[in-house]
Amino acid sequence: MSFKSGFIGIVGPPNVGKSTLLNRIMGTKLAIVSPKPQTTRNRILGVLHQDDCQMVFMDTPGIHRTRTALHKSMVDAAFAAFHEVDIILMMIDAGAREDPAVPSIINGLKPIEKPLFLAINKIDRVEKERILPILEDYGEKFPFDAMIPISALKGHGVDALLSQLKRRLKPGPRFFPSDMNTDQSEAFMVSEIIREKIYQYLSQELPYSCAVTILEIEDVPQKNLVSIGAGIHVESDSQKGIFIGRGGGMIRKIGSAARLELESLFEARVYLDLAVRLEKNWSKDTRALKRLGY
Ligand SMILES: Nc1nc2c(ncn2[C@@H]2O[C@H](COP(=O)(O)OP(=O)(O)OP(=O)(O)O)[C@@H](O)[C@H]2O)c(=O)[nH]1
Ligand SMILES: [Mg+2]
């Protein structure tokens, strides 16, 4: 039997659980997750290795109506994935009302001639009887090759999804060596973990108005220490004040939550220096976006 491989793009509206599914499939945390929408800003690859196949999953930013250059770059990245993968896995949230982005996503699928799957996620949150009408509704909206109810959080249906995806893979090469499970750099993963804690502790528009960059990561093996310097870029003076917090309380909270997770990632002590920097209107300025990694 020949070796099979392929890229599978996970696409959909914000907050439906795309990154949660990537992490569940990979059995490890590659993508940050939050209850707030528009968490993922870049495409993130997860490479699943099996004896007879390699599945390369591509997590993408949630598709939504755009406001700023940042959001446009996120949505462009998601739509570009439609053309770069071999199989598209659209995801929706079974427990939420239909997202306003669904019609434009389905429109985007129409000209694509490749296997198109629908994962109906978060079935742990809905009554069993609610699932059939959703299947019927989406079956009328678009002729998906398969529609699979899952819970990315609890793992229900994920094995069935994987085996259906595997059946549609074509013979192909090993794109990535077997010790590689993502294409993300260490610095990117560190910056994402910091951003996740910002989503956790700050509300309203604040998480959306920041970007995180890594200035240095220095490994000091003789002390079992990793020393990290990072910048949090915000758009206004008042945001800067909130990020720092009274007496530095907020930045300390974000820093110590990030540090805990980084220590388990590096299996070492971590020294984390976070500096909040004012970078006016970065999310609207395409040059600043490039510099900040978008
Ligand atoms: N109950 C339940 N919650 C889920 C499930 N999958 C994801 N969630 C939750 O839904 C929220 C959003 O999950 P994410 O994985 O960040 O969603 P996303 O689609 O990647 O979101 P964006 O990156 O913003 O587009 C988080 O609070 C998850 O814990 C699920 O199967 N069941
Ligand atoms: Mg995500």
Q: List the one residue out of 87, 112, 81 whose CA is nearest residue 6.
A: 87
Residue 60 beta carbon below 6 angstroms from any ligand 1 atom:
no
> Do residues 134 and 233 share a domain?
no
1 C-alpha to center of ligand 1: Å?
A: 37
Cβ contacts of residue 99 below 8 Å, gap of 6+? 12, 13, 14, 16, 92, 93
- Of 146, 171, 196, the one marking the end of a domain is 171
Q: Which residue has the tokens 């609890």?
A: 154
Same domain, 216 and 270: yes
CATH of the domain at 199: 3.30.300.20
Report whether residue 259 contacts ligand 1, using a CB cutoff of 6 Å. no
Quick check: 153 and 17 in contact, CB under 8 A? yes
pTM of the model: 0.97
* Same domain flag for 20 and 155: yes
Tens digit of pLDDT for each residue in 118-177? 999 999 999 999 999 999 999 999 999 999 999 999 999 999 999 999 999 999 999 999
Ligand 2: distance of its center to the CA of 87 in Å? 19
d(CA 73, CA 51): 36
Give the rounded distance of the alpha carbon of 244 from its chain centre.
26
Q: Looking at 171, 197, 213, which one is the last position of a domain?
A: 171
Same domain assignment for residues 219 and 99: no
Please tell me the distance between residue 162's alpha carbon and the centre of ligand 2 in angstroms. 19
Q: Candidates 10, 16, 18, 20: which one to mutate for ligand 1, based on the most atoms within 8 Å of Cβ?
A: 20
Specify if 179 maps to a domain: no
What are the backbone angles phi and psi of residue 184, rounded to the nearest 5°?
A: -75, 145
Total domain count, the chain: 2
CA of 120, nearest ligand number: 1
Candidate from 18, 24, 33, 158 with most ligand 1 atoms within 8 A of CB, to mutate: 33
Looking up tokens 């998906």, which residue turns up? 144
Give yes or no: residues 161 and 200 share one domain. Answer: no
| Mean pLDDT, residues 188-216 taken together | 96
Last residue of a domain, one of 140, 171, 202: 171
Query: pLDDT tens digits for 24-62?
Result: 999 999 999 999 999 999 999 999 999 999 999 999 999
